[in-house]
Amino acid sequence: MAGMRRRPGRLVALGAAALVIAADQISKDWAQANLAINQRITVISGWLSFQRTENSGAAFSFLTGHNELFILITAALLVLVGFLILGRLAPDRLTVVALGLILGGGLSNLFDRVRLSAVVDFVRLAFWPTIFNLADLAIRAGAVVVVLAVLLRQTRRGHLDRPVR
């Protein structure tokens, strides 16, 4: 229809997801091949090290040992993200890429849960309380970008300037 803007394509999100899955799985394969459980290798002294763990819980090892529950919850959330992508409901390319990051990170961690009954984590930052992986980083980055994109759209429309009644 004339006047309607075309929504960003699915291939952008699926490409972002594929890149995240590939990078995450390759890095986890490296960690499993080169690091024993809890072995630490310093990369940048006082800032970055690699230490392999296997997390059977959620972030911060929350609810450790409930793998089936996490598989179910993750699958349901990924269906929702997939619906947003495939239904072309994302309003702009930035949000599409962010959803692709979330999808890729979620699928990669889900693959670990199904295959290993745990998620392989190995990145340790001195200032961060937990060990994580590239999929976790992609999920967090994607979520932050989605929130910022929503706030930016709302600000541009003037919705954040009105008082709540």
Summarize pLDDT for 127-146 with one digit per residue, the tens: 999 999 999 999 999 999 99
Q: Give the count of beta carbons closer than 10 Å to the beta carbon of residue 97.
A: 22
> Which has the higher per-residue pLDDT, 129 or 65?
129
Residue 113 lies in a domain: yes
What are the helix (H) ranges across 35-133? 67-86, 93-116
Total-model pTM: 0.83
Residue 73 lies in a domain: yes
> Which has the higher per-residue pLDDT, 5 or 12?
12
Name the residues annotated as catalytic: 121, 136
Residue 8 has a pLDDT of 57
Residue 1 has a pLDDT of 42
Residue 119 lies in a domain: yes
Given a contact cutoff of 8 angstroms between Cβ atoms, the answer to whether 121 and 35 are in contact is no
Show the domain range for 112.
10-153
Q: Could you give the C-alpha distances from 70 to 22, 58, 59, 77, in angstroms and in order?
A: 22, 7, 11, 10
Residue 10 has a pLDDT of 81
Q: Tokens 């745990």 identify what position?
A: 118
Residue 3 lies in a domain: no
Residue 52 lies in a domain: yes
Q: What's the mean pLDDT when you consider all of the chain?
A: 86
Residue 159 lies in a domain: no
Total of domains in the chain: 1
Predicted confidence (pLDDT) at residue 3 exceeds the cutoff of 60? no
